[in-house]
Structure 1
Amino acid sequence: MKRFLPRFVCQIVQTFLHRARLLLLLTLAALASQPNAAHAQSNAKIGHQPALKPASIPALVGYFPQWGIYNQPQYLVKNLATGTTPLVDQINYAQGFVTNGHCSIADPNADLNYTFTAEQSVDGKPDTPTQPFRGNLHQLQKLKRKFPNLRILISLEGHATDFADDAQPANRAAFVTSCIDTFLKGQFAPGITIPNLLDGIDLDWEYPHQPDAANYVALLQEFRRQMDALRPGLLLNVAVGPSPRMYEGTDMAEIGRLVDRIGLMTYDMSGPWSDTTGFIAPLTASPNYNGGTVAHSVEAYLEAGVPAEKLLMGVPFYGYGWNQVPEDDNGLAQEGSPIHGDRPYSYIATVIPTSTVYRDPDSQTPWLFDGDIFWTYDDPLSITHKARYVLDHQLGGLMIWELGEDNAASDLLHAAHESLQTPTQPALSNADEPSEGDSALPAPSR
């Protein structure tokens, strides 16, 4: 032990200096950002209000991927039970399917038929091939028994044209009844009825066009009416795009009255479709970046009449990359060759040791660059800044897409949870400690 003491002491000193430097940045940012009183007191007429967490305790909502059983390594409901569930208030199970005027199970194998081993199961008990109720939904049932206060919603997704047809006056009531029968009454399949497993519906219509505006609101009204008639306290959420301008003609204040939570998909501000490298989810504006920001999205919905306490700020647990990026400005705002698709934070965290970490102090956004490959993503410190914004502006909480993309240590999830509880301290992990020569200080000015 003694022969390692000098190196150990050096590491302590380096870590202390690094954390102090990041804490200074966070403190300065906190002093610079004052709560917007107009936004904090956005109190549009409130309608249905089931018992949620008090507005002073922001919620943490995460999407669980139905397809996690196919991932390598697998991401299972058991992963929620062994570390995630105590940190979150609500799980949105993605996904149920909307098509041809009704709701249905999107993947019968994942939802109902997958046979979990004892090692894979929430309670350590294996499924048997002959039992009728298996799959993720059975595991979620076990999860609810273990964590009875956890809310689990089904996220309904489908093509925009399907939603538009289903929301038509002639189809609306029957469509909503189908969704309620399938998921809230638990009529999952012939011979499989599990009532009261799910606590509500998260509607993800991407996106209603201007002619759909009135029908979108009417559809939510019908969901609210039928859900209230079925069981008091059922939750109705919606996922919405980063700007209310995407919902031209839609009465967002009425939507804010009808639903319990509104999840802002405040990410994908830049990606492989962009002309240059950029930031996936910058919190605030920066002279180094010309795209949209999370704060602008939040402000737009508040101005549209949505109550602050119902807004969930979306945070991505994934990122985008480009290769063949010029070295100018450390790769930022440069043309490059987009890397196909996104990459989970679990992958990006493995790249950090071989790249340089840069941080834009205006947008509170990190990026990685190794002289050729550029990555944009959120890390524990950027999520800490977002949690502070949520608290300062009295928003409803944070929404995560999606839980299975975090690293094995759940660094992002822990940062989100801890920052909402004790937001004055930046949440860091070993994966985010810059190695020698890296910098978490402001990038060079452009």
Structure 2
Amino acid sequence: MARSILTLAATLLAATLHAQSPQLTAYFPQWGLYNTPQYNVKTLLASGGAEKLDQLNYAQGFVTDGKCSIADPNADLNFTFSADQSVDNIADQPTQPLRGNLNQLIKLKRKYPKLKLIISLEGKGSDFAADAQPDKRAAFVSSCIDIFLKGNLAPGIKAPNLFDGIDVDWEFPHEEDAANFQALLTEFRTQMNAFHPGLRLNIAVGPSPRMYPGTNFTAISGIVDQIGLMTYDMAGPWSKTTGLLAPLSLSQDQHHGSVANTINAYQQAGIPSQKLLMGIPFYGYGWHQVLEDNNGLFQEGEGIRGDRPYSHILTLIEQSTVYRDPTSQAPWLFDGDIFWTYEDPTSIHAKGAYARDHQLGGLMIWELGEDTPSAALLHASWESLNPQTYDPDSTR
């Protein structure tokens, strides 16, 4: 009997520790199909990254005209993958009803049944605001559950139980939307529980709770399972001076925000640490005509339009010098004229350590298609959360 009690206690302790272990979540880009080279589900599998993930957020499902809808029927349902592009090395047949990314996700889930697949709902803030109105929200939520959770993807095309939950990305509710924002999430929770208890309801939020005036985050944290923090874009080409994209903490001269400040602000707003996911960007921003003082950091320059994937920034390193902020561990490139801010394995390891030390829910990656073919940043993200299981002297 004593041995049985000890065994039960050990099992319960192990389960508790597992439940509290930080999770690795990443957004999969629907548009990766059109990248050069193409980024698809097979790419994720071949890189060894799929087995590292706890949750995959599929971006995206659309929010338009009062309902949820398939954002890109070609990418999601119709694209015919060859055997080389397919997760199971079996080519799609042009006559099969369901092809595209969603069929590949079904195959991925067969390989990794513990991987949670979440549909990320994205759209204009004005559409979310309209759909959250009292006379529309129930029907709107019902449409989202019907298409993505019940799997009624299109006439004659069904995929029940593909997605394990919904991620709501409303950017951003105004003060007059605050009550409806909470009510919309409550409606999602109510209908999801009625359909299948245990489904995940998540939200993505901006780098400051001040972007959500009037929102009761204490109440919302009791409704949702995870809150993904978009802890990036602290600086970018919209600014007349260079800065760091997503510094973990502030150096003395940093004039923008920091990841740690964002986390502290949401904790103070009433969200438990275990529900917070720290956002990690897999892209960078640049400026040119940058002054040489301070190796280009916090100097005036002309912003370079758009972001660049980490895979591209790596090609620039030989022509530049890599510098690193000692406070945040954030890197930047500077060649005397052009400045790039980005994340690398060193800065990600620092963030993973912070997430562990502060008992956060984990890390959230935006987005997988911007990584290297070997998924260098994805692997670094996993290693940062699991430091006891990898060899720090290994290289990729």
> What CA distance in whole angstroms lies between the structure 2 residues aligned with 1:100 and 1:230?
24
User: Equivalent residue for 1:203?
Assistant: 168
For 1:404-419, list aligned pairs within 5 A. 404-419=369-384
**CA distance in structure 1 between the partners assigned to 2:269 and 2:299 by the alignment:** 35
Distance 1:243 1:135, change over 3 A: same
Partner of 1:12: none
Question: Is the CA contact 1:387–1:423 (under 8 Å) kept in the aligned structure 2?
Answer: no
The one of 65, 70, 84 aligned to 2:29 = 65
Match of 2:230 among 242, 260, 265: 265
Equivalent of 1:113 in 75, 78, 81: 78
**SS of equivalent to 1:341:** strand
Q: Which moved more, 1:387-396 or 1:402-411?
A: 402-411
Match of 1:249 among 200, 206, 214: 214
2:113 corresponds to? 148
Shift of the alpha carbon at 1:130? 1.2
Percent identity (aligned):
65
SS of the residue aligned with 1:255? helix
| Alignment partner, residue 360 of structure 2 | 395
Partner of 1:301: 266
Q: Return the alpha-carbon distance in structure 1 between the equivalents of residues 195 and 16 of structure 2.
A: 19
Residue 109 of structure 1: how far off its partner (Å): 0.3
**Partner of 2:101: helix, strand, or coil?**
helix
CA change 1:375–1:429 in 2 (3 A) is farther
Q: Which amino acid aligns with 1:331?
A: G
How many residues are paired up? 381
Query: SS where residue 86 of structure 1 aligns?
Result: helix
- Unpaired runs of 5+ residues, structure 2, are 1-14
| Cα distance, 1:219 vs structure 2 | 0.3
- Give distance in 2, aligned partners of 1:411 and 1:366: 16
Cα deviation code 1:113-153 (max 9, x no counterpart):
00000000000000111111100000000111111111000
1:75 maps to a residue whose letter is: Y
Q: Relative to structure 1, is the Cα distance of residues 126 and 320 closer, same or farther in structure 2, using a 3 angstrom cutoff? A: same
Residue 267 of structure 1 aligns to a residue whose secondary structure is coil
- SS at 1:258 equivalent: coil
Please give the secondary structure, in 1, of the residue aligned with 2:188: helix
Moved more, 341-350 or 79-88: 79-88
> Does the CA contact (< 8 Å) of 1:380 and 1:428 recur in 2?
no
Cα pair 1:160 1:207 within 8 Å, conserved: yes
| Superposition deviation, residue 363 in structure 1 | 2.2
Cα 1:428–1:284 change in 2 (3 A) is: farther
* Aligned with residue 59 of structure 2, among 94, 114, 120: 94
Answering whether residue 151 of structure 2 is matched by residue 186 of structure 1, we say yes
In the alignment, the residues of structure 1 paired with residue 189 and residue 288 of structure 2 have an alpha-carbon distance, to the nearest angstrom, of 47
Matched, 1:76 2:40: yes
1:381 aligns with 2:346: yes
Q: Determine if contact 1:267/1:315 at 8 Å carries over to the other structure.
A: yes
Q: 1:345-384 maps to which residues of 2 (within 5 A)? A: 345-384=310-349
Give the C-alpha shift of residue 390 in structure 1.
0.4
SS in 2 for 1:274: coil
Match of residue 438 from structure 1: none
Partner of 1:4: none
Indicate how the Cα distance of structure 1 residues 53 and 234 shifts in structure 2: closer, same or farther if over 3 A, else same.
Answer: farther
Q: TM-score, normalised by structure 2?
A: 0.93
Q: Distance in 2 between matches of 1:424 and 1:408?
A: 22
Question: What residue is the counterpart of 1:170 in the other structure?
Answer: 135
Give ranges in structure 1 of 5+ residues lacking alignment: 1-50, 432-446
Aligned match of 1:279 in 240, 244, 247?
A: 244
C-alpha deviation, 1:429, in angstroms: 7.7
Equivalent in the alignment of 1:21 = none
Deviation at 1:52, TM superposition (A): 10
Query: How far 1:55 sits from its partner (Å)?
Result: 4.9
Q: Counterpart of 1:363 in structure 2: which amino acid?
A: S
Q: State the distance in 1 between where 2:199 and 2:357 align.
A: 28
Preserved CA contact (<8 Å) 1:253 1:306: yes
- Return closer, same or farther for 1:425/1:120 CA change in 2, 3 Å cut-off: closer
Cα separation, partners in 2 of 1:284 and 1:64, compared to 1, 3 Å? same
Q: What root-mean-square deviation, in Å, do the aligned CA atoms of Structure 1 and Structure 2 show?
A: 1.7
- Taking the aligned partners of 2:373 and 2:17, their CA distance within structure 1 comes to 28
Corresponding residue of 2:309: 344
- Which residue of structure 2 aligns with residue 23 of structure 1? none
Q: Deviations over 1:351-386 (max 9, x none)?
A: 112211111111221101011110000110100110
- With normalisation by structure 1, the TM-score equals 0.83
- Take 1:425 and 1:109, find their aligned partners in 2: how far apart are those partners? 39
Aligned pairs for 1:36-55 (under 5 A) are 54-55=18-19
Contact 2:329 2:350 in 1 (8 A): yes
Distance 1:388 1:370, change over 3 A: same
Larger CA deviation: 81-90 vs 262-271: 81-90
1:252-289 CA-partner distances (Å, limit 9, x unpaired): 01111111110000000000101200000000011131
Runs (4 or more) in structure 1 with deviation over 4 Å come to 423-431
